[in-house]
């Protein structure tokens, strides 16, 4: 069987961002191919805790997050599958007055930008939303239409819909080099070359390697973010909960299991594809969870894991045109908060391909903003 080699676009990386870009391009009538070195959603896109969160975003990301939440709310219409998205809200808890002041200041700054999705909760309002929260918590910040979904299922939903619209997904296909030839990219892989006039770099933690093949230098650090999940517990929590003063991402899934994350780092193993956990650091995560939710103290942990994600020095992703290679676009390095943005960034990429412009502000994410800084 011969593999088709010529496409309208080559997408490198079969994670959420690559599959979303493929879907949006296929929806616009293009025929993209997704090249995935392993299997779809192998790393961050299946390991992510799955928070669909606008709460606490960097101001540069807010317009994208506001547009993306609408896509989350219409995902079933768009893809025929909602990846079990539940809009149960997101809450950031303040454990003391100092944290509370920080949250109030944050809410004010977001309002000043013209947004009203982040709402301050007093002690009583916090308990109404989060009855199981520890007595010492004094209030919080809340976004109502946020929630969570299943990362693997979201990625698979974009992939399956993209395929239904004519996109091709090639798993076990790792990119080894990129060349230009008569206005087209020739992407060399372990399974032969693929050609297209458009290239989308959605290679996640490996995005800088692809960028370098294109001539763009980006300082990107692969990081293993650790998470854990408990056995099923009686229902005690609806919204996803974070913490103002300590790293925490805490949610009870519909099945009753509780997923705890928050950004504590494990290690990326020497081969770059596996992760190792750092249990003394994970213990801090357990401590935070048990402090904010005393009910968790006796919860049994079923599994701990880590996913590999690319981090940039300013904690913002790389989105938009390549500097060195016209026709190439970047969408990687989401620094552990790219899940919510997946639907909209794929749409932005497709817009850039089909119209040469986007109506959302992406200047802050340009690939050459670290020029002159040493690569990590």
Partner 1 sequence: MSAINSGEIDLAVVGAGPAGLAAATTAAELGLAVSVFDENATPGGQIYRGIEAVAAKRGADFAVLGDAYRAGESIVRDFRASKAAYAPNTGVWLVQKDRQLGIVRDGKAGMVAARRVLIATGAQERPVPIPGWTLPGVMLAGAAQGLLKSAGMVPAGPVVLAGNGPLLYQLAAQLVAAGVKIAALLETRSERAAALPHLPAALMAGNYLAKGLGLIAAVKRAGVPIRRGVTELRALGCERLEAVEVAAGGRTERIDAALLCLHQGVVANVQLSLAIPLKHEWSAAQRCWRPVVDQWGNSDVEGIAVAGDCAGIGGAEAAAHAGRIAAFEAARALGRIDAAARDTHAASDLAAWRRHLRARPFLDALYPPAQGLVVPADDVPVCRCEEVTAGQVRDAVRQGGTGPNQVKSFTRSGMGPCQGRMCALTVSEVIADALGKPVAEIGTYRIRPPIKPLTVGELAALE
Q: Give min distance, CB of 277 to partner 1, in A.
A: 7
Q: If DSSP codes are grouped into helix, strand and coil, which group holds residue 282?
A: helix
Q: Which of residues 203-262 bind partner 1 (CB under 8 A)?
A: 228-231, 255, 257, 260
Q: How far is CA 91 from the centre of its chain?
A: 19
Question: CB of 229 within 8 A of CB of 259?
Answer: yes
* 153: contact with partner 1 by CB under 8 A: yes
Residue among 254, 279, 355, 361 that touches partner 1 (CB under 8 A): 279
* 273: contact with partner 1 by CB under 8 A: no
Q: Give min distance, CB of 18 to partner 1, in A.
A: 14
Q: State which residue, 134 or 257, has the beta carbon closest to partner 1.
A: 257
Contacts 24+ apart (CB under 8 A), 366-370: 366/318, 366/320, 366/323, 367/211, 367/216, 367/218, 367/318, 367/320, 367/321, 367/322, 367/323, 367/330, 368/216, 368/323, 369/314, 370/217, 370/218, 370/219, 370/312, 370/313, 370/314
Mask: binding to partner 1, 285-324, rule CB under 8 A, as x and -? -xx-xx-----xxxxxxxxxx-------------------
Secondary element (H or E) of residue 223 = strand 221-230
Question: CB of 46 within 8 A of CB of 149?
Answer: no
* 271: contact with partner 1 by CB under 8 A: no
User: 71, 49, 79: which is closest to 145 by C-alpha?
Assistant: 71
Residue among 39, 108, 164, 376 that touches partner 1 (CB under 8 A): 39
* 282: contact with partner 1 by CB under 8 A: yes
Q: State which residue, 72 or 152, has the beta carbon closest to partner 1.
A: 152
Q: State which residue, 111 or 254, has the beta carbon closest to partner 1.
A: 254
Distance CA 313, CA 336 (A): 13
Q: Which of residues 73-112 bind partner 1 (CB under 8 A)?
A: none
- Structure tokens of 32? 């993209």
* 22: contact with partner 1 by CB under 8 A: no
* 148: contact with partner 1 by CB under 8 A: no
Q: State which residue, 84 or 368, has the beta carbon closest to partner 1.
A: 84
Q: If DSSP codes are grouped into helix, strand and coil, which group holds residue 238?
A: coil
Q: Give min distance, CB of 263 to partner 1, in A.
A: 17
Q: Give min distance, CB of 246 to partner 1, in A.
A: 13
Q: State which residue, 126 or 296, has the beta carbon closest to partner 1.
A: 296
Q: What residues does 240 pair with on adjacent strands?
A: 90
Q: State which residue, 71 or 286, has the beta carbon closest to partner 1.
A: 286
Quickly tell me which residue has 């763009």 as its tokens: 216
Mask: binding to partner 1, 107-146, rule CB under 8 A, as x and -? ----------------------------------------
* 283: contact with partner 1 by CB under 8 A: yes
Q: State which residue, 288 or 322, has the beta carbon closest to partner 1.
A: 288
Q: Give min distance, CB of 286 to partner 1, in A.
A: 4
Q: How many residues bind partner 1 (CB under 8 A)?
A: 40
Contact stretch for partner 1 (CB under 8 A) within 100-108, 111-119, 208-216, 269-277: 269-277
Sequence-distant (≥ 6) Cβ neighbours of residue 376 within 8 angstroms: 219, 220, 221, 313
Distance CA 258, CA 251 (A): 6
Q: State which residue, 45 or 358, has the beta carbon closest to partner 1.
A: 45
Q: What residues does 180 pair with on adjacent strands?
A: 185
Pairing of the two strands 192-196 and 184-189: antiparallel
DSSP 294: G
Q: Give min distance, CB of 145 to partner 1, in A.
A: 26
Secondary element (H or E) of residue 267 = strand 267-268
Binding site for partner 1 (CB under 8 A): 39-41, 46, 150, 152-153, 156, 159-160, 169, 171, 228-231, 255, 257, 260, 274, 276-277, 279-280, 282-283, 286-287, 289-290, 296-305
């Amino acid at each position: 069987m011969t593999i088709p080699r010529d496409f309208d676009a080559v997408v490198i990386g079969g994670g959420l961002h690559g599959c979303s870009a493929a879907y949006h391009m296929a929806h616009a009538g293009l025929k993209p191919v997704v090249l995935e070195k392993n299997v779809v959603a192998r790393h961050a896109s299946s390991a992510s805790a799955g928070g669909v969160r606008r709460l606490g975003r960097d101001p540069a990301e807010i317009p994208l997050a506001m547009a993306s939440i609408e896509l989350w709310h219409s995902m079933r219409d768009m893809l025929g599958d909602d990846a079990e998205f539940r809009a149960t809200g997101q809450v950031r808890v303040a454990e003391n007055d100092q944290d509370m002041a920080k949250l109030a200041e944050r809410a004010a700054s977001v309002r000043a930008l013209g947004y009203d999705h982040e709402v301050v909760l007093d002690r009583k309002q916090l308990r109404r939303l989060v009855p199981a929260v520890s007595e010492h918590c004094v209030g919080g910040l809340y976004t109502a239409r946020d929630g969570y979904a299943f990362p693997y299922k979201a990625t698979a939903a974009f992939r399956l819909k993209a395929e239904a619209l004519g996109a091709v997904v090639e798993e076990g296909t790792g990119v080894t080099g990129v060349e230009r030839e008569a206005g087209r990219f020739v992407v060399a892989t372990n399974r032969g070359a693929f050609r297209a006039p458009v290239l989308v770099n959605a290679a996640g933690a490996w995005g800088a390697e692809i960028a370098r093949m294109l001539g763009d230098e980006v300082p990107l650090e692969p990081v293993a973010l650790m998470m854990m999940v408990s056995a099923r517990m009686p229902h005690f929590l609806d919204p996803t909960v974070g913490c103002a003063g300590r790293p925490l991402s805490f949610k009870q899934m519909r099945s009753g299991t509780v997923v705890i994350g928050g950004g504590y780092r494990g290690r990326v193993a020497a081969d770059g594809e596996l992760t190792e956990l750092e249990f003394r650091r994970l213990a801090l995560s357990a401590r935070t969870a048990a402090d904010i939710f005393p009910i968790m103290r006796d919860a049994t942990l079923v599994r701990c894991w880590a996913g590999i994600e690319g981090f940039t020095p300013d904690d913002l992703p790389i989105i938009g045109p390549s500097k060195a290679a016209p026709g190439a676009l970047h969408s990687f390095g989401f620094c552990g908060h790219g899940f919510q943005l997946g639907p909209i960034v794929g749409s932005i990429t497709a817009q850039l391909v089909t119209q040469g412009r986007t109506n959302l502000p992406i200047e802050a994410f340009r690939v050459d903003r670290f020029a002159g800084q040493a690569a990590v």
